[in-house]
Amino acid sequence: MLSSPWLSFKEHLYLFNFIGAILTLMGIFLLIPLIPLWLLDEGGPAGISVWTFLFPAIISIFSGLAIQKGFTYQTPSVRGAMIITALGWIVVCLLGAIPYQLGLHKSFIDAFFESVSGFTTTGITVFEGLDGIPGSILFWRSFTQWLGGLGILSFFILISFRGGSAAAALFSAEGHKINISRPVPGIFNTMKILWGLYIMFTISSFLCFWLAGMSCFDALNHCFTCISTGGFSTHDASLSYWSQNNYPHAWLIEYVAVLFMLAGGISFLIHFAVITGDLKALFTGFEIRYYWMIGGGAVLLVCLDHCRVFTATQTWSLSGVHDLFRTALFQVASLLTSTGYLTKDINDPFFPSLSKQVFFTLMIVGGCVGSTAGGIKVLRIGLLCRLFGVQLKRIFLPRAAVIPLVISGKVISPAEIERVAALFWMWMTIIVGGAFITCAFSSLSSWQGLSGMASAMGNMGPFYFSVHEMVSLHWVIKLTYILGMLAGRLEIIPLAVLFGTLLRRR
């Protein structure tokens, strides 16, 4: 009996071969910020040391190679793929935190928090004074979000040429836990298409941001964090920086961001269909129809709510109507896609109480399955709504009638429905549990505590209290949010499998 935990552990030693490969890849990524460090001339006594990135890169590369050599390769089981995914993400986030500790002298918990927020594309920050942070650090923050957008392991699959059943298992474990089709046969070909589209959108958004008036450095950072729906910015004022500083085309920058945020929130399979000639795919699918209805309805509600409260005290003009629409559209797009950019703080009186409720609902829903967005996902919300309709039909029809749940012409199996229901239940349970912990270890109100955990779990970013209050939160709350961000990005199951395996007793 005493040897059983060791035997269970020994069965999974081959998983470290994958962890070693991920560490090696991570070390290479850590070398990339040396380029902006050199170009921006940030080295030397007045700046940050090259060792800020070089030290963790060397550690990561050499330890990764040693681990790969020490453990043999084996195709992982479903359970093994889940463990690799959860453990791989935790290790990557730990390494990604080192530059913040070395370059900014942040505490371990704050550095780890920022790293997890970056890789999970959450966008919650515990860093204040972004305008004064060295550019190479800002680049690293943005780059971590770009890497996490489609998934660290999916990029690992792409460049390591590990195809077959191992790649399929890892792709399934890291991706959304619902059955979706692939654009072409073969997991490696699918990865090439997805990352090709991702890179295409990244380059396009860079050019659009740059032409709209951003500096080259700002455009580079925001093209990373926009299509990844991450939301990190190079300025404390986020996307409102340009309007606050009277840039002539600040409104155009906002519309560019809306375009690419919405693109990031749409399934990349739909993008592939559109590029290959099926333009109707952008409006005709079950999930995409819900996506546009939720987004359009939310914009309308926010505009009407503002008019309801401020009509008597505000003089309306054409430019005022446009500003209201642009602000509502931007914030709805930012929250529906879980990006988290702001042109106006969601705590601002500009958004009355109904608007704040709309925003909170969007934080729960999120974007489409197969996108870079967080949240429970529009498809699951639509499925649960359709399921309720099926239950009503069963009441009015004869007991012997068979009424399957059909979406897009396909019958959804009971097992799939059970997975969605279980995931939804655990999602909401974790949010409520995190809110309890937030309120127990802080002076935040229950509404603020709920918004903070919902933002972390949904990989959103905004919440109903200030960044300064977030920075000063107890380490227990920050650790809770870290687990929430990882659980939300990996959709709970891989983390649950990892912890279950560690605690398992035969």
Instruction: Give CA–CA dist 209/220, Å, rounded.
Output: 8
490: CB partners within 8 A, 6+ apart:
85, 86, 89, 174
Highest mean pLDDT among 7-21, 74-88, 228-242, 394-408: 228-242
Give me the pLDDT at residue 83, please: 84
pLDDT one-digit tens code per residue, 104-121:
999 999 999 999 999 999
Answer whether residue 195 shows pLDDT above 90. no
Give me the pLDDT at residue 49, please: 86
Residue 58: exposure state from Cβ atoms within 10 A (0-12, 13-18, ≥19):
middle
Please tell me the least confidently modeled range out of 42-51, 356-365, 465-474.
Answer: 42-51
Answer whether residue 414 shows pLDDT above 90. no
Give me the pLDDT at residue 187, please: 67
pLDDT one-digit tens code per residue, 269-301:
899 889 988 889 899 888 999 999 999 999 999
Give me the pLDDT at residue 328, please: 95
Answer whether residue 35 shows pLDDT above 90. yes
More confident residue, 93 or 179: 93
Please tell me the least confidently modeled range out of 41-50, 82-91, 476-485.
Answer: 41-50
One-letter amino acid of 412: I
Radius of gyration of the chain (CA): 23
One-letter amino acid of 495: L
**Helical spans, DSSP H, in 366-413:** 378-396
pLDDT one-digit tens code per residue, 210-244:
999 999 999 999 999 999 999 999 999 999 999 99
Give me the pLDDT at residue 170, please: 60
Per-residue pLDDT, averaged over 385-394, amounts to 86
Give me the pLDDT at residue 194, please: 84
User: pTM here?
Assistant: 0.90
Place of tokens 């919650």: 124
Instruction: Give CA–CA dist 110/392, Å, rounded.
Output: 49
The tokens describing 168, both together, are: 């399929």
Instruction: Answer for the pair 383, 407: CB distance below 8 angstroms, yes or no.
Output: yes
85: CB partners within 8 A, 6+ apart:
153, 170, 173, 174, 490, 494
Per-residue pLDDT, averaged over 350-375, amounts to 91
Report CA 174 to chain centroid distance, whole Å: 12
Please tell me the least confidently modeled range out of 38-47, 256-265, 335-344.
Answer: 38-47
Maximum alpha-carbon separation in the chain: 81
The rounded mean pLDDT for the chain is 86
Per-residue pLDDT, averaged over 172-180, amounts to 52
Please tell me the least confidently modeled range out of 32-36, 170-174, 256-260, 291-295.
Answer: 170-174
Per-residue pLDDT, averaged over 126-133, amounts to 92
Per-residue pLDDT, averaged over 430-446, amounts to 94
More confident residue, 481 or 423: 481
Percent of the chain with pLDDT over 70: 89
Instruction: Give CA–CA dist 88/171, Å, rounded.
Output: 13
pLDDT one-digit tens code per residue, 305-347:
999 988 777 777 888 889 999 999 999 999 999 999 999 999 9
DSSP class of 411: E
Per-position DSSP letters for 294-343, written without gaps between them:
HHHHHHHHHHHHHHHHHTTT----HHHHHHHHHHHHHHHHHHHTT----S
Residue 72: exposure state from Cβ atoms within 10 A (0-12, 13-18, ≥19):
exposed
Per-residue pLDDT, averaged over 440-466, amounts to 92
Backbone angles phi, psi at 411, to 5 degrees: -80, 125
Confidence band (pLDDT; 50, 70, 90) for 155? low
Q: Which of 283, 269, 262, 443 is nearest to 362 (CA)?
A: 262
Instruction: Give CA–CA dist 336/296, Å, rounded.
Output: 11
